[in-house]
């Protein structure tokens, strides 16, 4: 399931991010590429152990910790701190699947990558090409969102960033270990929570059917969640 979350960052927040990112020193993305990725990865990244990447990454995590759609869709247990990449003309990242296990830089603790996230930080008209193409059971899905918008998708998905023909594509990206490992169960919980929220707005939180459905939601989480 692909979930688009609009306006994770406001226009003003994006502007402030870009002031830092446009002045930053970008490094060859091959420095962080694994043996397979080295054959298909052509981009630039920030050193995520230094500023401004660390501060901007913390800010994104603070925003997401209070974002109801993100919490409902991801049910996050652990989040790998955001990284930042840039694709300029002719740069691309060919088809690949993200690594299944990663070590958190702060603690060395291993997390399982259940969900991948891309937060767009350049407007679509700032660059040509550079779509995030995600393979789904219904075929390839092309994603190119407004600056400040984010897409969540299963880390098991084959995906790529198509070649940038002009301009520069700037984004943050990161991974989530969910409290609910199974993607079908996560999708069911997200749809159920969305229905609960819609009925709450229409009928009120105290309505018996809203209370009952909310109870079903929490009881399913009780059965399916596996906190680390």
| 169 annotated to bind ligand | yes
98 carries a ligand binding annotation: yes
- What the block records as the tokens of 143 is 């994603």
What distance in Å separates the CA atoms of residue 97 and residue 156, rounded to the nearest whole number?
A: 6
Q: Three-state SS across 130-160?
A: CCEEEEECCEEEEECCCCCCEEEEECCCCEE
Q: Who contacts 66 (Cβ-Cβ below 8 Å, separation ≥6)?
A: none
Structure tokens at 11: 């226009």
The reply to whether 149 sits in an annotated binding site is no
Contact 225, 179 (CB under 8 A): yes
d(C-alpha 67, C-alpha 72), whole Å: 9
96 is annotated as contributing to ligand binding: yes
Binding-site residue numbers for 2-oxoglutarate are: 169
Binding site residue list: 96, 98, 159, 169
**Per the annotation, where are the binding residues for Fe cation?**
96, 98, 159
């Amino acid at each position: 399931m692909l979930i688009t979350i609009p306006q994770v960052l406001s226009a003003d927040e994006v502007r402030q991010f870009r002031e830092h990112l446009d002045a930053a020193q970008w490094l060859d993305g091959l420095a962080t590429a694994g043996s397979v990725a080295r054959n298909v990865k052509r981009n630039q990244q920030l050193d995520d152990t230094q500023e401004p990447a660390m501060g901007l990454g913390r800010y994104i995590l603070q925003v997401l910790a209070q974002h109801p759609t993100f919490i409902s869709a991801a049910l996050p247990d652990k989040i790998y701190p955001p990284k930042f990449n840039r694709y300029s003309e002719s740069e691309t990242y060919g088809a690949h699947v993200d690594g299944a296990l990663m070590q958190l830089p702060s603690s060395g603790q291993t997390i399982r990558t259940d969900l991948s996230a891309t937060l767009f930080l350049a407007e679509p008209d700032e660059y040509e090409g550079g779509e995030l193409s995600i393979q789904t059971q219904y075929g390839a899905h092309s994603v190119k969102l407004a600056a400040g918008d984010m897409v969540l998708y299963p880390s098991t998905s084959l995906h790529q960033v198509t070649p940038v023909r002009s301009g520069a594509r700037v984004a943050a990206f990161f991974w989530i270990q969910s409290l609910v490992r199974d993607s079908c169960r996560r999708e069911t919980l997200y749809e159920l929570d969305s229905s609960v929220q819609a009925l709450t707005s229409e009928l009120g939180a105290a309505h018996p059917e809203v209370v009952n459905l909310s109870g079903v939601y929490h009881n399913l989480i009780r059965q399916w969640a596996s906190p680390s």
